[in-house]
Structure 1
């Protein structure tokens, strides 16, 4: 409550009960003096009341438990997330965030609480650094909102220590790739999904992009594969087709070799024959990689087929996703411009490409600097 009064000097003033401070919890009074007119005092009083209402809102949020605050944030963020990303966020919340921070009041979260949380995930749970960083990234985004709203008064986030993430990318050499591409000559009962692995190592396409690839997305004449559809996981762990890529740059076109075009034509003959045999019972999704009746292939089955295939060959054991890494590393070793590799892989920018495949750069640097030795050698020969 507040009332405007005139003092002995003819100036106006007011004293107002401002309620409790949202941070300290102590009651406050707001006093203002020296107004030349009552109208000036009323205007200032109205502004202060608006500010107090904002503070009251902050106080209500500050007393919320973190699980309520992060849930509000997540529900708003869902609008712009893909179903597969929503599913990943929900898993992080359920397993790696709420059990540890959910019952803490948002205003009470500090450096010690967050550091203990990170340490628990690392030492007691034994989670991979990448998983911890992913969960922490969500927490950080929410805490930054709390700091911006002055619910948390100190920005301590830059002082948090995270487990070091050591990325070990396993890739095939040029000889390994050649051995793998010779698989039809070495394996009698080769999986029907082998064509997908060939596409991957020759284009760097992601698994979801491979499993969503349609024949109409392949320009045989101009030797181009257009990435326009992916197989993506839904919130309920089912799968469906999506016309959205992992990033905006994921929707792209990739030039391919004549060798791959030839293999694709052979595979299309197999598919056309199955369509004729199955007739109306064939599920014509127009997929390049599909079951015998045209249905999409579950990612687990695709990975399993890859594992079985490489177990029959004299090549290092790598993950299916490492075919994408092998593609990029091979091109780097052939001095292909990283910008071209970035576009083929669908990375958001070239820095991601360079950082991801930095393991290949030392050998390229040695090769680059050797050009100066060649310069002097050539000059010496000409003398």
Structure 2
């Protein structure tokens, strides 16, 4: 065909350019459609949040502000695939406990589920689709032992002494203890009815943490004696009938009881600082140490699932477990220790 000229090369390229463009240039993305996560969050705040406990809403708002909106806020609901949510959960595990990641995901799935119920097109990804990484940050659980609880109760003045006794002898949560009313103390059947909790921030009544938390717990004799004496000499009358009420007739603040009553007592006793929840951990730990079955401890703490009790307190080696292992070891050692008969090699040589 002869030598190709500069002009003919350009002409050839111009002829093929439309075909090259179709191959090399990606088509413009389609405009996004459907509701965004931010719009779904707004719906959740209007229609769902007012029906939840204040503490639950505060936790959800914290998850939204710190994790969900910064990472996922620009996405449309249709873009929430298993891969997207899995990548999000994997990114959260660094520097956080597994429980924290689960709580953040619970908030996210609550919002996505609400959007689907309201008719929005959202991917049907669920918690069962997500694999949480093993590990994460493990936080040491701070708790008192029975001796420390006794010293704290003895050192505190009323009504705090009785408060701490209730916490240590029953394992109630601090909000549940502050929510107790005179009608909840059944001295005939020797039980305490757990029917409400006091929100740590608003000091308003709310339901206990879970359905299983609203239950009865035994009133041991030592606590019965303390409560009767407190009601006789230290009880402050109030319109709502709270067992523990401040001078205005309102529930005490968890934060103030901790900061101004518990911490000074711990400092004077030279006990490491901890919060009111350490009494609950103390009750569980002591019960397990004394050999109480896991199911008994679960009922006393009112955990919905025994796995929750096991996850929190499975590291405690109780007396029953220790005795069982000692017996096992002794049986093995008894059969392993035999009288060795001297062999020819072991007999002393005659000079």
Q: What TM-score, normalized by structure 2, do the two folds share?
A: 0.71
**How far does the alpha carbon of each residue in 1:265-317 deviate from its partner, in whole angstroms, 9 at most, with x for none?**
22212345x54xxxxxxx42221222134321112112212112222214333
Note the C-alpha offset of 1:260.
Answer: 1.2
Unaligned runs of 5+ in 1: 1-23, 27-58, 185-189, 276-282
2:210 to 247, 261, 265: 247
For residue 246 of structure 2, what is the aligned residue in structure 1? 291
Classify 1:377/1:196 alpha carbon distance in 2 versus 1 (closer, same or farther; 3 Å). Answer: same
1:231-278, Cα deviation, whole Å (9 max, x unpaired): 126xxx523123x22111111111122211121122212345x54xxx
Which residue does the alignment assign to 2:189?
Answer: 222
Question: Does 2:147 correspond to 1:178?
Answer: no
Alignment map for 1:81-96 (pairs within 5 Å): 81-96=52-67
Pairwise CA RMSD of aligned residues?
Answer: 3.8
Would you say the 8 A contact 2:154–2:161 is kept in 1?
no
Distance in structure 2 (CA, Å) of the matches to 1:209 and 1:105: 41
The aligned residue for residue 136 of structure 2 is 164
Separation in structure 1 between the aligned mates of residue 203 and residue 70 of structure 2, nearest angstrom: 28
Partners in 1 of 2:315 and 2:69 — Cα distance? 37
Aligned residue for 2:303? 347
Unpaired runs of at least 5, structure 2: 1-28, 336-351
| Equivalent pair of 1:133/1:162 in contact (CA under 8 Å) | no
Is the CA contact 1:118–1:162 (under 8 Å) kept in the aligned structure 2? no
Matching residue of 2:202: 238
SS at match of 1:341: helix
Please report how far the alpha carbon of residue 376 of structure 1 lies from its aligned counterpart in structure 2 after TM superposition.
8.4
Q: 1:49 is matched with which residue?
A: none
Residues 374/259 of structure 1: CA separation in 2 closer, same or farther (3 Å cut): farther
TM-superposed CA distance for 1:66, in Å, is 1.8
> How many equivalent pairs are there?
303
**Paired residue secondary structure (1:239):** coil
Residues 1:201 and 2:157 are matched in the alignment: no
Given the superposition, is the C-alpha separation of residues 228 and 378 from structure 1 closer, same or farther in structure 2, using an over 3 Å criterion?
farther
Task: Name the CA distance, whole Å, in 2 between partners of 1:143 and 1:284.
Answer: 43
CA distance in 1, matches of 2:328, 2:136: 37
Distance 1:146 1:155 in 2: 13
Q: What is the 5 A alignment of 1:124-143?
A: 130-142=99-111
Distance 1:217 1:207, change over 3 A: same
Larger radius of gyration: 2
**Structure with greater strand percent:** 1
Establish whether residue 258 from structure 1 lines up as the match of residue 226 from structure 2. Answer: no
Cα deviation, residue 145, structure 1: 8.3
On the 8 A contact 1:172/1:316 being kept in 2, the answer is no
Residue number among 279, 304, 313 corresponding to 1:323 in the alignment: 279
Residues 363, 132 of structure 1: alpha-carbon distance in 2 compared, 3 angstrom cutoff: same
Q: Which residue of structure 1 aligns with residue 324 of structure 2?
A: 368
Query: SS where residue 62 of structure 2 aligns?
Result: helix
Q: Distance in 2 between matches of 1:204 and 1:154?
A: 37
